[in-house]
């Protein structure tokens, strides 16, 4: 396996040197073979360092490390692309399945702010599943037999839970964050900007070693239409797809404008209709859609941007949602598309630079990899990136998880209402950590 890459070992930060001779023996061999499908893809995951990208029971899970990269800076997406291209040049790829998600893959979790580190992991063992088709990819040194995976180990976490979870305030207390929202509204009303997204964090203290598989199981079960993920200890279930690239087809799902669900069908329907009629929420959503459409238009033709949003229902909240699609007019990879899109108005604001300034002045914390692109990409430039929402950053040594939630602030936003919305957005992580099984 390759050693972990770091800036001190590379001639250019975040890169590896190109294989000097194209006819030289490969440093790594990537082998993909069919595998019997499982009713529970997440049960394939062993404990320890693992990666996950699962939705509706399908997706990708992996473990081990064939290569890793930590990269930062405004060019982090381009540097990652160069690193990945050069790494793949050192591989001999044997893929007998040839489906989206087969062959060597990289999982990435990019920071919101370019000054914070981003993480990229290439798992040495990866299992994928799409419908009734499943496969296993192993990355190994030449001459080394790959792991036998005719029947991958099933290791269910059913019935397990964390014994005790205690929550505490994060970087700002609730009243302090409400004051920040109020100051943001004042600056919007003064004409400084149109929208800003302010996030807050809370911290959970766990009384024993944290098993992220328990969190993943609960999130995937309770939020099956979300993308449940784990990359470099950032774990969550995001409802928002930043960008998917499949050949020349590009898709993005924009979410902005939120109302909490009450658990009563008629009341939730009334709330959804009110959300669709809300000038405040429609304005917030419009900013986000325009920012995505503008970014994708630099790479795509045949753009489809629906005029009106729909309502996406999740277990805890309802969102205004718009799916934007286009056809690639150039050879932009998934990483290039993500670089053009991030940060969208859905997680930053508009105008972008003014919103970033207000965030740095009012939020009182580093977002780390919260609200950054998270997902996977392959050797063809295809893959999926969600926006890292409804998530938490695990510190396994300190037995803590730092959870995040953010709210779009526009003219007319009420600090008390925004605080309630942020609490609703913490529910997925709270429930996954605090869940108790009856079995």
Q: Which residue has the higher pLDDT, 183 or 157?
A: 183
Residue 203: strand pairing partners: 168, 402
Token reading at 120: 């990229």
Which of 121, 140, 159 is at the close of a domain? 140
Cα–Cα distance for residue pair 287/115, rounded to 1 Å: 26
The first and second tokens of residue 368, run together, are 């780390």
In the chain, how many domains are there? Answer: 2
- Judge if 135 and 215 occupy the same domain: no
Tokens of 355: 């919103």
Indicate which residue of 15, 119, 240, 363 is catalytic: 240
For residue range 94-123, list pLDDT tens digits in order. Answer: 999 999 999 999 999 999 999 999 999 999
* Residues 396-411, mean pLDDT to the nearest whole number: 94
Answer yes or no: is 174 within a domain.
Answer: yes
105 & 217 share domain: no
- What domain range includes position 127? 7-140
Question: Residue 143 has what pLDDT?
Answer: 77
| Same structural domain, 248 and 368 | yes
Residue 184 reports pLDDT greater than 60: yes
**Structure tokens that stand for 131 in this block:** 């419908």
For residues 140 and 74, is the Cβ–Cβ distance under 8 A?
Answer: no
Q: Among residues of the chain, what percentage have pLDDT more than 90?
A: 82
Say if residues 230 and 50 touch (Cβ distance below 8 Å): yes
Q: Please identify, among 124, 140, 156, the residue that sits at the C-terminal boundary of a domain.
A: 140
272 lies in the same domain as 335: yes
Query: Which residue is associated with the tokens 């000038």?
Result: 279
Of residues 37 and 235, more confidently modeled: 235
DSSP letter string over 51-95? EEEEETTEEEEEES-SEEEEE-STTHHHHHHHHHHHHHHTEEEEE
Token pair, residue 28, equals: 């790594």
Q: Verify that 172 and 136 share a domain, yes or no.
A: no
CA 79 to chain centre: 19
Are 127 and 205 members of one domain? no
On whether both 109 and 236 belong to a single domain, the answer is no
**pLDDT given at position 435:** 76
Report the range of poorest mean pLDDT among 9-23, 62-76, 298-312.
9-23
Percent of the chain having pLDDT more than 70? Answer: 89
Range of 17-26, 145-154, 183-192 with top mean pLDDT:
183-192
403 assigned to some structural domain: yes
Mean pLDDT of 287-313: 96
180: CATH: 3.60.120.10
For the chain, what is the largest distance between any 2 Cα atoms, rounded to a whole number of angstroms? Answer: 67
Query: CA nearest 121: which of 193, 69, 53?
Result: 69
275 in the same domain as 420: yes
Work out the average pLDDT over 246-257: 96
> Which domain-ending residue is among 96, 124, 140?
140
Q: What is the pLDDT of residue 210?
A: 86
Q: So what's the pLDDT on residue 150? A: 45
Map residue 124 onto helix, strand or coil.
coil
172/304 same-domain check: yes
Give yes or no for residue 152 having a pLDDT over 50.
Answer: no
Give me the chain's average pLDDT, please. 90
Residues in CB range of 72: below 8 A, 6 or more apart? 14, 111, 114, 115, 116, 117, 118
Cα 6 to its chain centre, rounded Å, is 23
Number of neighbouring beta carbons within 10 Å of residue 20:
6
Q: Which two tokens stand for residue 357?
A: 């300034």
Residue 365 inside a domain? The answer is yes
Measure the CA–CA gap between 111 and 406, rounded to whole angstroms: 15
- Given this model, what pLDDT does residue 198 score? 99
Please report the pLDDT score of residue 209 as a whole number. 84
Identify the burial level of 433 via C-beta atoms within 10 angstroms of its C-beta, where 0-12 means exposed, 13-18 middle and 19 or more buried: buried
Taking the model in full, what pTM does it have? Answer: 0.91
The 3 state secondary structure assigned to 336-400 is HHHHHHCCCCCCCEECHHHHHHHHHHHCCCCCCCCCCEEEEEECCCCEEEEECCCEEEEECCCCE
Question: Per residue in 159-186, is it b (16+ CB within 10 Å) or e — as a string?
Answer: eebbeebeeeebbbeeeebbebbbbbbe
Is the predicted pLDDT of residue 422 greater than 90, yes or no?
yes
**Per the domain annotation, does 145 fall within a domain?**
no
175 domain residue, yes or no: yes
Question: At 141, is the secondary structure helix, strand, or coil?
Answer: coil
Measured between its terminal Cα atoms, the distance across the chain in Å is 41
Model confidence at 163, pLDDT cuts 50, 70, 90, reads low
Residues 136 and 32: beta-carbon distance below 8 Å? yes
240 is catalytic: yes
In this structure, are 120 and 180 located in the same domain? Answer: no
Same domain, 82 and 33: yes
Angle between helices 334-341 and 76-89 (to 10 degrees): 170
Determine the pLDDT at residue 9. Answer: 29
Q: How far apart are CA 317 and CA 165, in angstroms?
A: 23
CA distances from 163 to 205, 221, 434 (A): 11, 20, 8
Q: Which of 31-45, 133-147, 332-346, 363-377 has the lowest mean pLDDT?
A: 133-147
Q: Residue 145: which residues within 8 A CB-CB, separation 6 or more?
A: none
Q: What pLDDT score does 25 carry? A: 67
Q: Hey, what are 112's tokens?
A: 């919101």
- 80 by Cβ neighbours in 10 Å (0-12 / 13-18 / 19+) ranks as buried
In a domain, 149, yes or no: no
In the annotation, is 294 catalytic? no
> Residue 397's pLDDT is what?
86
Q: Is the pLDDT of residue 439 over 90?
A: no
200 vs 143, residue with greater confidence? 200
Average pLDDT over residues 296-319: 96
150 belongs to a structural domain: no
Q: For residue 18, what pLDDT is reported?
A: 32
**What is the spatial distance between Cα 200 and Cα 30, in angstroms, rounded to a whole number?**
41
Quick check: 12 pLDDT over 60?
Answer: no
pLDDT in the model for residue 21: 39
> Both 95 and 29 in a single domain?
yes
**Catalytic option among 15, 119, 178, 195:** 195
- Specify whether the CB–CB gap between 115 and 54 falls below 8 A: no
162 within a domain of the structure (yes/no): no
Residue 46, C-beta contacts closer than 8 angstroms, at least 6 positions apart: 63, 153, 155
Q: Is the pLDDT of residue 146 over 80?
A: no
| Confidence at residue 154, expressed as pLDDT on a 0 to 100 scale | 52
């Amino acid at each position: 396996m390759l050693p972990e890459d770091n800036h001190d070992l590379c001639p250019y930060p975040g890169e590896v040197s190109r294989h000097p001779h194209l006819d030289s023996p490969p440093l790594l061999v990537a082998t993909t073979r069919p595998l019997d499908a499982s009713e529970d893809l997440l049960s394939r995951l062993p404990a320890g360092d693992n990666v996950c990208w699962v939705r509706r029971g399908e997706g990708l899970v992996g473990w081990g490390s064939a290569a890793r990269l930590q990269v930062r800076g405004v060019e982090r997406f381009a540097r990652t692309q160069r690193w990945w291209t050069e790494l793949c040049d050192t591989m001999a790829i044997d893929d007998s399945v040839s489906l989206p998600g087969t062959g060597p893959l990289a999982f990435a979790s990019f920071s919101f702010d370019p000054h914070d580190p981003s993480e990229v992991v290439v798992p040495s063992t990866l299992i994928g599943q799409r419908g009734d088709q499943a496969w296993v990819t192993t990355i190994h040194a030449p001459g080394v037999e790959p792991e036998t995976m005719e029947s991958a180990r099933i290791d269910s976490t059913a019935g397990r839970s964390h014994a005790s979870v205690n929550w505490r305030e994060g970087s700002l207390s609730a009243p302090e964050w409400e004051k920040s929202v109020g100051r943001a509204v004042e600056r919007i009303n003064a004409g400084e900007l149109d929208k800003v997204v302010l996030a807050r964090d809370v911290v959970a203290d766990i009384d024993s070693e944290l098993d992220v598989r328990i969190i993943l199981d609960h999130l995937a079960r309770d939020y099956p239409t979300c993308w449940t993920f784990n990359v470099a200890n950032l774990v969550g279930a995001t409802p928002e797809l930043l960008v998917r690239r499949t050949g020349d087809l590009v898709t993005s799902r924009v979410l902005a404008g939120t109302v909490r669900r009450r658990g009563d069908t008629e009341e939730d329907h009334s709330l959804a209709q009110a959300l669709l009629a809300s000038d405040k929420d429609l304005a917030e959503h419009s900013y986000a859609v325009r920012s995505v459409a503008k970014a994708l238009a630099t790479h795509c033709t045949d753009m489809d941007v629906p005029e009106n949003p729909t309502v996406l229902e999740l277990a805890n909240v309802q969102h205004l949602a718009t799916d934007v699609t286009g056809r690639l007019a150039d050879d932009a990879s998934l990483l290039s598309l993500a670089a053009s899109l991030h940060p969208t108005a859905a997680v930053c604001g508009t105008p972008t630079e003014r919103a970033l300034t207000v965030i740095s002045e009012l939020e009182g914390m580093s977002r780390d990899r919260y609200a950054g692109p998270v997902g996977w990409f392959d050797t063809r430039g295809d893959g999926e990136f969600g926006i890292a929402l409804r998530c938490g950053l695990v510190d396994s040594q300190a037995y803590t998880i730092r959870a995040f939630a953010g709210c779009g602030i526009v003219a007319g936003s009420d600090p008390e209402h925004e605080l309630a919305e942020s609490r609703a957005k913490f529910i997925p992580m709270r429930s996954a950590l605090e869940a108790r099984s009856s079995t």
